[in-house]
A = this chain, B = another copy of it.
Amino acid sequence: MRTIRYQQIASELRERIRLAGRNVLLPSESDLSSEFDVSRVTIRRALETLRHEGLVESRQGFGWYVAGGPLQQHLGGLATIEDQLEQRGIKPERRVLEFAFQNAPPRVAAVLGTEQVLRVKRLNLADGDPFAVVTVWCPAELGHRLSRRDVEQQPFYTLLGIELRGATQTIGADAASADDAALLQVSVASPVLRCERVTTDTTGRAVLLSEHVFPAHRTEFIVELPNAAPSTTPSGLRLVDERVTPAI
């Protein structure tokens, strides 16, 4: 039986990748081609095979590295998943579904401390595939200069023109509503990650409230705990309080 060289190489690399950690850099294509004594084209075909399997990714001028599962969000900076997508060479697209100034629902009014708010609902896509339904509320006096096009082209937190300090984020699981399911192209009631984020400015005032809905099969959060308290139990988890108001 004839063996096909680039498939051999692909399975050898598959084995190495299995043992390596996330984001580990592979040797360069020319190193690999001299190691396996084949041309660069053959190496590339092997690597493209692995890319197709989702095992590796590459950036021009940088190299090939081990992929980290589905879309992973690092909790740890104000940066959003959109920045992380751009860093990985995926061009995020924002499609604005709703853009309106309105009276704040009670929960929003309570958090932001104002009655008049701008509410923006967006669908975020990565390489054309929807991966998040995002609803953002911000006080009307901060949002009155924003246009629909603004929020389509830039992440929200760069548009406000004020310095932000931090955020508190809650992460929960839920079943997809009919609306969200249609937008995300998943079945109704399939599992989703539902996150709420309250962003504050340097004075500690809440200036943004946002809700993100991610389809479960495409996203997960990842938290590095360099010197965590020893435990196998996930930290930061709490039980939901029944009196917390329902839907924002």
Q: Spell out A's residues near B (CB within 8 Å).
A: 1-4, 14, 18-20, 24-28, 31, 52-54, 63, 69, 71-72, 75-82, 84, 106, 110-111, 126, 131, 134, 136, 155-158, 164-175, 189-200, 204, 206, 208, 210-212, 214, 216-248
In the complex, the answer to whether A228 meets B165 with C-beta atoms within 8 Å is yes
Contacts of A235 on B, CB cut-off 8 Å?
75-76, 78-80, 168-169, 236
In the complex, the answer to whether B2 meets A63 with C-beta atoms within 8 Å is yes
Known: A72-B170, A171-B171. A195 touches B234 (CB 8 A): yes
Contacts of A82 on B, CB cut-off 8 Å?
231, 233
A15 — nearest CB in chain B belongs to which residue?
A: B226
18 A-B residue pairings within 8 Å (CB atoms)? A1-B24, A71-B76, A79-B235, A80-B229, A80-B233, A82-B233, A165-B228, A168-B223, A170-B233, A175-B190, A175-B191, A199-B230, A211-B248, A239-B240, A240-B247, A241-B243, A241-B247, A247-B248
A169 to B75, alpha carbons, bound, how many Å? 10
A65 to B232, alpha carbons, bound, how many Å? 32
A218 to B155, alpha carbons, bound, how many Å? 32
Contacts of A233 on B, CB cut-off 8 Å?
80-82, 134, 155, 168, 170, 197-198, 212
Other-chain contact of A234, B63, B197, B228, B242 (Cβ < 8 Å) = B197
In the complex, the answer to whether B200 meets A231 with C-beta atoms within 8 Å is yes
What is the copy number of this chain in the assembly? 2
A220 to B165, alpha carbons, bound, how many Å? 23
Other-chain contact of A228, B25, B63, B168, B231 (Cβ < 8 Å) = B168
Contacts of A243 on B, CB cut-off 8 Å?
241-242
A211 — nearest CB in chain B belongs to which residue?
A: B248
In the complex, the answer to whether A232 meets B206 with C-beta atoms within 8 Å is yes
How far in angstroms is the closest Cβ of chain B from A4? 7
A132 — nearest CB in chain B belongs to which residue?
A: B233
How far in angstroms is the closest Cβ of chain B from A211? 7
A172 — nearest CB in chain B belongs to which residue?
A: B220
Q: A171-B171, A240-B247, A248-B248 are in contact. List 18 more A-B contacts (CB 8 A).
A: A1-B20, A2-B27, A71-B76, A75-B223, A80-B235, A81-B239, A165-B226, A166-B224, A166-B227, A168-B231, A169-B221, A170-B233, A170-B248, A171-B221, A219-B240, A235-B236, A240-B240, A245-B246
In the complex, the answer to whether B238 meets A219 with C-beta atoms within 8 Å is yes
